[in-house]
Chain A
Amino acid sequence: MFKARVKMEVLRELVDVVSTLVTETKLQVSVDGIEVKAVDPSHVAMLVLNLKKTGFEEFTGDSTEIGIDVEKIKDVLRLSKPGDLLNLAYDGGKGKLEVSVGKIVRHMGVVDPAGITDPKVPNVNPPGKVVLKTDELRQGIRGSESISDHVTLTLDPEFFSMHSEGENDRLDLKIPKSELTLLEAKETVKSMYPLDFFSSMVKSISSAEEVTIFVGNEYPLKLEFSFAGGRGDARFLLAPRVEED
């Protein structure tokens, strides 16, 4: 059983974040809130997302799995405007998720959760950590997109940098430690990542002003941020690219 009332902006961000990796996903409902785990089909990127019951305006739920077609939720979101509240209800019996906004009610068919793989989340702990402004990161990504299909992130004891290199062009974003909220790197670490994933991940974040990035040497990246006014948190993992011989 699941019944909740949620702000349009919260649901929209959740859906944007999830749809960077998958088109169908499993909502794991518990008495405390909801959880989503997703892995992209090529197993290069992963997401673990939690939204506490306090992130909803109203919430009642017990242990349930709901298989969701993300596109259908987006359809309903398109009918709503900022400030709207959406009602979600699922009783498991009829196999329909009921989503309503204003005077509109949509009964949507759900996906069999058994058909959606439960990703095994690797326990990665990259040694370097940086907290920076989402806007600055987004700007660097926008600049990189016309240059290459991958970016290199570097964490140095004194600075954070991101660079991408094409045949003739190169773009660098370098932020000194003094202008970062937090920088923890005992030594220089760097890894290269596929830009398409990194870019859509960062672009899906709409409310967090700051993000936390963990980086190692030729090691998966961990990107953490919060949403729903701190009552939701999400963690992306992204596998690295390694230099060719």
Chain B
Amino acid sequence: MCLRCRSARLLCGKPVCPLLLRFQGATRTFPYLSGRGWDGSTPPGVFVGRFGYPYVNVGPLLAPQHGDTLLYDTPERWVGRPLQEIVGFRTSLLRGTYPVKVTDAERANPIVEEIQMVSLSSESSEGEAKFRKAPQLRLELSDDTPPYGPTAPLEALHLDVRRVDPRLERSAGDIHATARIVVEELYGQKVPVSRIQRALSAGVLGRRGHRRFVPTRWSITAVDDLLGKANLERIRMLPELSEWWLYTLEALGNRWFVLFLPGSWRYESIEAWYPGTLWNPEGANVLMLGDHEGFRGRTQYAGMGGCYYAGRLAITEKLLDLNRQSGALILREIHPGEVLPLGVWNVREHVRTALGGHPQRLSSWEEVLQRISRFFSIPMRRWLLQSTLLREWKSQRRLDQYL
């Protein structure tokens, strides 16, 4: 049950997720701010909460030091860094909060305007804030969004934004194009996905009268899903890959096995959580969870959540790059090294990194099975039982075979 919920739905009926609660104690050692003021820099970072929707808290993420903190909220640059470092700088970020209704995105308000301006910026900004109460450590970890540190309600905010991303600024000024179109355009102009997600959640994109604040975790998956689908529109027209290509990667206690299968587009992603990992703390067995789609995609939200869409986006980018369509399978084994939920960037960026390497060309189905056995601790048989794509490959005949 924990694996299905991942604190998002509180399926156990408890008011706070007990798994995440365990980290409350551990986080006491994180840098702690006292007093009711802050000065420092914002990476830039913006966070929009989801509790109480449509009444939510919006606010900037604030680093305790001055200077360039861009890295703190740019997941594209986190690959290759140790877990401690990522958790370290993330938990030093203070989240200012300001209550709004999501539809207030177009209403004049000095604090909202500061936050929205920061969401367009392309470099760190120095600033000051005043709080109504001293910052409190109220950890709200989620599987989709990266962690952050203490929280404080904003009374006043001033951020000195010097440089905005001209592409974002132009999009924010476009009051006729829908958010969907603008998001696709920005991506086409090579704006990093994390930056598009930030602008979307800050309510600065879309048609006038339709702009709203979007909870950060929803905006991340919305952008991953939207861009993946847009890429697939083109991929479905491309010639088919006729070989098995394998990419692997080990990082942050995760083993990634990304396989391209011959034929037309279809996709599956499977995660296996070892006992002692975040969402499988007490279990004696490995827990596996996956989702898949066929050539035409899926219409229901994937049960495994944002990871599915983050991985799919990375896959579609590679296929466009190869100018091919194919089947794609992500198998991920999570070993007890992963202690905190890090956010779906973990999937998107690591799959991107894996696909950046050289593919291993496999010659046969037997070799695929062999590689799965060799790469993972979980027996090949269990992967086969879990994977619809692999099962289909093995059992589904094609009409060409009867010509």
Q: Which residues of A contact B (CB under 8 A)?
A: 39-46, 120, 122, 124, 149, 192, 194, 196, 219-220, 237, 239-244
Task: Choose among B294, B388, B391, B400 the residue that contacts A43 (Cβ–Cβ < 8 A).
Answer: B400
Whether A244 pairs with B391 at a CB distance below 8 angstroms is yes
Please give 17 more A-B residue pairs, beta carbons under 8 A apart, in addition to A44-B399, A149-B388: A41-B236, A42-B263, A42-B398, A43-B398, A44-B396, A44-B397, A44-B398, A122-B403, A124-B402, A196-B294, A220-B402, A237-B399, A239-B396, A240-B397, A241-B396, A241-B397, A244-B394
CB contacts between A and B, total, < 8 Å: 57
Nearest to A238 among chain B residues (CB) is B399
B395 at the interface (CB under 8 A from A): yes
Residues of A within 8 A of B391 (CB): 244
CA gap between A42 and B264 in the complex, in Å: 6
User: Closest CB-CB distance, B319 to chain A, in whole Å?
Assistant: 14
Task: Choose among A40, A46, A240, A244 the residue that contacts B295 (Cβ–Cβ < 8 A).
Answer: A40
Q: Which residues of B contact A (CB under 8 A)?
A: 236, 263-266, 294-295, 388, 391-392, 394-403
User: Closest CB-CB distance, B260 to chain A, in whole Å?
Assistant: 15
CA gap between A242 and B266 in the complex, in Å: 20
Residues of B within 8 A of A242 (CB): 395, 397
CA gap between A41 and B263 in the complex, in Å: 8
Nearest to A45 among chain B residues (CB) is B399
Whether A244 pairs with B264 at a CB distance below 8 angstroms is no
Residues of B within 8 A of A45 (CB): 399
CA gap between A240 and B395 in the complex, in Å: 8
Whether B397 pairs with A42 at a CB distance below 8 angstroms is no
Q: Which of B265, B266, B394, B402 has the largest count of A CB atoms less than 10 A from its CB?
A: B402
CA gap between A209 and B399 in the complex, in Å: 27
User: Closest CB-CB distance, B122 to chain A, in whole Å?
Assistant: 40
CA gap between A106 and B349 in the complex, in Å: 45
CA gap between A120 and B400 in the complex, in Å: 8
Given A42-B295, A244-B391, do A239 and B265 touch, yes or no (CB 8 Å)? no
Nearest to A24 among chain B residues (CB) is B237
Nearest to A41 among chain B residues (CB) is B264
CA gap between A130 and B399 in the complex, in Å: 22
Task: Choose among B266, B388, B399 the residue that contacts A239 (Cβ–Cβ < 8 A).
Answer: B399
Residues of A within 8 A of B398 (CB): 42-44, 239
Can you name 23 A-B pairs with beta carbons within 8 Å?
A41-B236, A41-B263, A41-B265, A41-B295, A42-B264, A42-B294, A42-B396, A42-B398, A43-B398, A44-B396, A46-B399, A120-B403, A122-B402, A219-B402, A220-B399, A220-B402, A239-B401, A240-B397, A241-B392, A242-B397, A243-B395, A244-B394, A244-B395
CA gap between A50 and B93 in the complex, in Å: 66
Whether B263 pairs with A241 at a CB distance below 8 angstroms is no
CA gap between A192 and B236 in the complex, in Å: 28
Residues of B within 8 A of A192 (CB): 395
Residues of B within 8 A of A44 (CB): 396-399
User: Closest CB-CB distance, B92 to chain A, in whole Å?
Assistant: 47
User: Closest CB-CB distance, A70 to chain B, in whole Å?
Assistant: 12
Residues of A within 8 A of B403 (CB): 120, 122
Nearest to A120 among chain B residues (CB) is B403
User: Closest CB-CB distance, B294 to chain A, in whole Å?
Assistant: 7
Residues of B within 8 A of A243 (CB): 395
CA gap between A219 and B397 in the complex, in Å: 9
CA gap between A220 and B399 in the complex, in Å: 7
User: Closest CB-CB distance, B51 to chain A, in whole Å?
Assistant: 34
User: Closest CB-CB distance, B56 to chain A, in whole Å?
Assistant: 36
User: Closest CB-CB distance, B390 to chain A, in whole Å?
Assistant: 11
Nearest to B236 among chain A residues (CB) is A41
Residues of A within 8 A of B236 (CB): 41
User: Closest CB-CB distance, A200 to chain B, in whole Å?
Assistant: 10
CA gap between A136 and B399 in the complex, in Å: 27
CA gap between A194 and B389 in the complex, in Å: 13
The 5 closest A-B pairs by CB, nearest first: A41-B264, A122-B402, A239-B397, A241-B395, A43-B398
CA gap between A46 and B401 in the complex, in Å: 13
Q: Which of B295, B396, B400, B403 has the largest count of A CB atoms less than 10 A from its CB?
A: B396
Nearest to B391 among chain A residues (CB) is A244
Residues of A within 8 A of B294 (CB): 42, 196
User: Closest CB-CB distance, A21 to chain B, in whole Å?
Assistant: 10
User: Closest CB-CB distance, A18 to chain B, in whole Å?
Assistant: 14
CA gap between A151 and B324 in the complex, in Å: 32
Residues of B within 8 A of A43 (CB): 398-400
CA gap between A46 and B397 in the complex, in Å: 13
Nearest to B395 among chain A residues (CB) is A241
Q: Which of A122, A196, A219, A243 has the largest count of B CB atoms less than 10 A from its CB?
A: A122
Q: Which of B391, B392, B399 has the largest count of A CB atoms less than 10 A from its CB?
A: B399
User: Closest CB-CB distance, B236 to chain A, in whole Å?
Assistant: 8
Residues of A within 8 A of B295 (CB): 40-42
Nearest to A219 among chain B residues (CB) is B402
Nearest to B385 among chain A residues (CB) is A244
Whether A42 pairs with B394 at a CB distance below 8 angstroms is no
Residues of B within 8 A of A241 (CB): 392, 395-397
Whether B402 pairs with A239 at a CB distance below 8 angstroms is yes
CA gap between A183 and B294 in the complex, in Å: 34
User: Closest CB-CB distance, B243 to chain A, in whole Å?
Assistant: 17
Nearest to B401 among chain A residues (CB) is A239
User: Closest CB-CB distance, A123 to chain B, in whole Å?
Assistant: 8
CA gap between A109 and B287 in the complex, in Å: 50
CA gap between A120 and B392 in the complex, in Å: 22
Nearest to B295 among chain A residues (CB) is A41
Nearest to B325 among chain A residues (CB) is A41
